[in-house]
């Protein structure tokens, strides 16, 4: 009898602790909609409200996935999809136009549980680049597909395909026109050739990082790249290690900024490496990379990141980063300026 009581107690205790454990497990999500050097006075109240509202919508949608017990990957894709389908950001609809007046989109995603990763570069007809990146990760033996080949793969996987003008907005057409006019002026006046494209990287890449109830981290990034870009330029967004990285042992990171510097400094993975190999906290690692390493190289931009405890870092060396988070304590903020 005593023995039965003992086992019964043990059974109850185990179940109780597992329920408690389940309830105690932190969930958290953070996202960005790009970083750059804008000032509060340069953005009107209506625009600011629209940005904050869309960031919140994406945050809530992603967080709901986590609350319902969904995976961090599902949360990342859900939140990024909302930002891709909004014309406010330089990803999906509202992407900037390249030198030929086309939208060429890049995205990547990584699963911190098994270091699986997927990316697409230079796609023109995939409605959701982040969904395509996920399909590459989960349904191909590859990590990175590019151009028409990536579209062929996406179509073979029954992902929704669209015409390129699905992504066009008047605002981006105007931007391209202005950049081209300026370029022509430069040509005419100084014979210096094309406008330095690096002046024009500033805004709107989107990214999400999440921690789910299973303790799995995930990160994703989606972008339209640079206005007037040429030469099949690939930035950091589809590069695992630079634009996106996730490892349950350390953290999940999504980058935004002047991509060339982020590639050279291997920004996303460098933050994970500083945690794994130097024992830094998430925030210490992010500060080291964004405020020291990257800044010393002359690179502008920022990251959002989350660690396995649900701590969040939103770190940038520009004046602004569109960002939102809800952390493991339930605290929620949606912000544009300041750090």
Binding footprint of a copy of itself on the chain (CB under 8 A): 110, 115-117, 121-122, 140-150, 152-153, 196-198, 230-235, 239-242, 245, 259-260, 263-266, 269-270, 273-274, 277-278, 297
Provide, rounded to whole angstroms, the least separation between the CB of residue 257 and a copy of itself: 13
> Judged by CB, which is closer to a copy of itself: 26, or 299?
299
Choose between 69 and 149: whose C-beta lies nearer to a copy of itself.
149
Q: Which is nearer to a copy of itself, 85 or 186 (CB)?
A: 186
Residue 213 tokens, joined: 């109830």
CB of 184 to a copy of itself, least distance (A): 18
Q: Per this entry, what is the length of the chain?
A: 339
Q: Catalytic residue positions?
A: 205
Give the shortest CB-151-to-a copy of itself separation in angstroms. Answer: 9
CA distance 58 to 53: 9
Please, what is the minimum distance in Å from the beta carbon of residue 127 to a copy of itself? 18
Strand (E) or helix (H) holding 32: strand 28-36
Instruction: Determine the angle formed by the axes of helices 147-156 and 129-139, rounding to 10 degrees.
Output: 70
In the bound state with a copy of itself, the residue whose beta carbon lies nearer, of 59 and 110, is 110
Backbone dihedral angles phi then psi of residue 308, each to the nearest 5 degrees: -70, -15
Return the closest-CA partner of residue 238 out of 118, 65, 81: 118
Give the nearest distance from C-beta 329 to a copy of itself in angstroms: 30
Which CB, 172 or 270, lies closer to a copy of itself? 270
Report d(CA 66, CA 135) in Å as an integer: 21
User: Which class for 185: exposed (0-12), middle (13-18), buried (19 or more C-beta within 10 A)?
Assistant: exposed
DSSP assignment of 103-119 equals: --EEEEEEETTTTEEEE
Q: How many CA atoms lie within 13 A of 69 on its CB side?
A: 2
- Per residue, the 3-state secondary structure of 192-217, as one string, reads CCCCCHHHHCCCCCEEEEEECCCCCE
């Amino acid at each position: 009898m005593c023995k039965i009581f003992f086992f019964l107690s043990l059974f109850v205790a185990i179940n109780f602790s597992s329920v408690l454990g389940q309830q105690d497990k932190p969930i958290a999500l953070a996202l960005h909609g790009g970083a750059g050097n804008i000032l509060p006075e340069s953005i009107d109240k209506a625009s600011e409200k629209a940005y904050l509202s869309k960031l919140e919508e994406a945050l809530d949608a992603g967080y709901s996935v986590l609350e319902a017990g969904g995976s961090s990957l599902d949360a990342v894709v859900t939140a990024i999809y909302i930002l891709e389908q909004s014309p406010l950001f330089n990803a999906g609809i509202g992407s900037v136009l390249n030198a030929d007046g086309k939208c060429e989109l890049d995205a990547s995603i990584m699963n911190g549980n098994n270091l699986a990763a997927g990316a697409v570069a230079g796609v023109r007809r995939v409605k959701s680049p982040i969904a395509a990146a996920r399909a590459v990760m989960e349904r191909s033996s590859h990590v990175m597909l590019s151009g028409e080949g990536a579209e062929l793969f996406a179509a073979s996987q029954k992902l929704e395909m669209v015409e390129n003008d699905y992504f066009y907005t008047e605002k981006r057409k105007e931007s391209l026109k202005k950049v081209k006019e300026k370029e022509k002026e430069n040509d005419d006046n100084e014979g210096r050739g094309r406008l330095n494209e690096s002046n024009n990287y500033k805004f709107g890449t989107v990214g999400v990082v999440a921690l789910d109830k299973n303790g799995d981290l995930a990160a994703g990034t989606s972008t339209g790249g640079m206005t007037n870009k040429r030469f099949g330029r690939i930035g950091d967004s589809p590069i695992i290690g630079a634009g996106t990285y996730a490892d349950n042992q350390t953290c999940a990171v999504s980058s935004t900024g002047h991509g060339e510097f982020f590639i050279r400094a291997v920004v996303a993975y460098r933050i994970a490496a500083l945690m794994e190999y130097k024992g830094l906290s998430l925030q210490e690692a992010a500060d080291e990379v964004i405020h020291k390493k990257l800044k010393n190289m002359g690179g502008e931009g920022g990251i959002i990141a989350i660690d396995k405890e649900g701590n969040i870092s939103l770190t940038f060396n520009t004046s602004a980063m569109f960002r939102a988070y809800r952390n493991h304590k339930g605290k929620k903020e949606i912000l544009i300026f300041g750090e």
